[in-house]
Amino acid sequence: MPNYDFDLLVIGAGSGGVRAARTAAGRGVKVAIIEDRYWGGTCVNVGCVPKKLYSYASHFAEDFKDAAGYGWTVSEPEFDWATLRDNQRNEILRLNGVYNRLLEGSGVQRIEGRGVVISAHEVQVGEQIYSAERLLIATGSWPYIPDFPGSELCLSSNEVFNLPEFPKRFLVYGGGYIATEFASIFKGLGAETTQVYRGDKILRGFDEEVRGFVQEEMQQHGVNFFLGREILRIDKHLNALAVTLSDGRTLEVDAVLCATGRRGNVENLGLENVGIKPNSLGEISIDANFCTQVPSIYALGDVTGGPQLTPVALAEAMTLVHNLYSEEENRVMDYSNIATAVFCHPNIGTVGVSEEEARKVYKNIRVYTTCFKPMRNTLSGNPSRCLMKLVVDAASDKVVGCHVVGPDAGELVQGIGIAVKAGLTKADFDATIGIHPTSAEELVTLRSVTRT
């Protein structure tokens, strides 16, 4: 039996890597974890956590305005970017410390530096070589910026949280959920905001009705959309950026965020040394047990090309550790009916299939929808509306999709996610007494079929 330094050596201290390391160590496994940049990974440092904090911040301007209809007199509010930026930064530093203490408290050895795989059982960090019975690659993903003249002038989501100055004219390039969230956030913070996307509608892959509704609501709130266009070049003019679009138009802005997708974070990882070849998106191929083509090397999380969601990486880590270090029957990850949220304005919460997907999968469906102004907006005069939608398989009566657009949609859909995962029927929803007066009660009072 070879004498390895560790039983498990994890490369990448993001959500999945940290959870795998801690859980394995809790089972008595000798574990070390390697990280060269972000302890806590993208989510904690430049993803979910700071983005949600900025999303909270961007709602206050509208809240102050709405307060007048409820009798509150509020002086003209002022926003200070430096306060938000620095408070956010301090919170991230606090969370970094929490992650480090959790790892050390679990008995996991922390190794700082870039880990390079040099064999099926060895990783080099600087001049030091570490060996392990098993290696786990959990290096996550990295923002992708397409190559065009001036693309080096673009920001990625890694830098956007800590800008020295607030960009009063802000352009977002991309149409996915990250691009759409940041367009909403910077508009809410007071920037003149433009979103440029090559498609004819943002949020590709989401329910079509949801896509159209969100785009209309964002336009109503002042986000400027240039759809069906691409950026040809960016030129720096004094303190501004001149962005030339494919229709010949030039926009002058203070900052450009390029949110055009992410790629697996595999650069300089040494995978070629063991014959692992990621695809064109930097994604590593794995089997149902998270094993790569090299029997001693495993991978999980964003780097494998699955759903790029923190809870998915956490669940994968728990499944992997159970299967490797438990004598119980192996578990298999179930990727169906994963509830997700998009923190644009308005928020999106969704679980299950879209109406379009349902029509491909089920012979007959029933669709129930409602669109209304939430009670909170009645006295304020706020024109924003909510959309709620249930997609039902007509044969089984099961609710196979739920889509909500409106305030705190993610909070609402988390509970509905349990119902959809459990396979509850529309009759079960109908038999549930609503909580009144709430927006959420609409989901258990929908009686009229919108379309079949």
- Which residues are tagged catalytic? 436
C-beta separation of 354 from 322 below 8 A: no
Q: How far apart are alpha carbons 358 and 420 in whole angstroms?
A: 14
Q: How far apart are alpha carbons 351 and 357 in whole angstroms?
A: 12
Q: How far apart are alpha carbons 45 and 395 in whole angstroms?
A: 46
What DSSP character marks residue 312?
H
Strands 340-342 and 365-372: unpaired
Q: Which of 118, 132, 139 is nearest to 36 (CA)?
A: 139
SS (H, E, C) 55-73: HHHHHHHHHHHHHHHHCCC
Name the phi and psi angles at 431, rounded to 5.
-80, -10
Strand-pairing partners, residue 245, are 231
Residues in CB range of 5: below 8 A, 6 or more apart: 32, 130, 131, 132
What tokens appear for 361 in the block? Answer: 């999968």
Q: Which of 366, 363, 316, 321 is nearest to 338 (CA)?
A: 316
C-beta separation of 66 from 42 below 8 A: no
What DSSP character marks residue 347?
-
Q: How far apart are alpha carbons 262 and 282 in whole angstroms?
A: 9
CB count, 10 Å around CB of 36? 15
Strands 115-119 and 122-125: antiparallel
